[in-house]
Amino acid sequence: MVDKRIVTRVAFVVLPLLAVACMSVMQSSFYSAFSLKELVQRNQSSSGLNCSGSGGAGGGGGGIATGAGGSSGNFNFHKGEGLGCQISDAEQFVEARFIQALKESVEKDLDANKAKITSSKNPEANSFSVEYTLGDTAGRVEISGTRSAGYYSLQAQLDEKKGS
Please spell the DSSP secondary structure of 66-129, one letter per residue. -----STT-EEEEEEEEEEEEES-TTT--HHHHHHHHHHHHHHHHHHTTPEEEEEEEEETTEEE
Structure-model confidence comparison of residues 163 and 114, the more confident one: 114
pTM across the whole model = 0.76
Alpha helices in 27-92 (DSSP H): 29-33, 36-43
| Count, residues in the chain | 164
Structure-model confidence comparison of residues 13 and 162, the more confident one: 162
User: For residues 149 and 131, is the Cβ–Cβ distance under 8 A?
Assistant: no
| Among the ranges given (17-26, 43-52, 83-92, 118-127), the one the predictor scored with the smallest mean pLDDT | 17-26
Residue 148, pLDDT > 50, answer yes
Bridge-based pairing state of the strands 127-134 and 137-148 = antiparallel
pLDDT in tens, 54-88: 443 333 333 344 455 555 668 889 999 999 999 99
Residue 100, pLDDT > 80, answer yes
What distance in Å separates the CA atoms of residue 147 and residue 139, rounded to the nearest whole number? Answer: 27
Residue 19, pLDDT > 50, answer no
**What is the C-alpha R_g of the chain?**
19
What distance in Å separates the CA atoms of residue 133 and residue 136, rounded to the nearest whole number? Answer: 7
The per-residue pLDDT of the chain, averaged, comes to 80
Residue 95, pLDDT > 90, answer yes
User: For residues 76 and 100, is the Cβ–Cβ distance under 8 A?
Assistant: no
The single-letter code of the amino acid at 96 is A
Q: Considering the chain, what percentage of its residues have pLDDT values greater than 90? A: 58
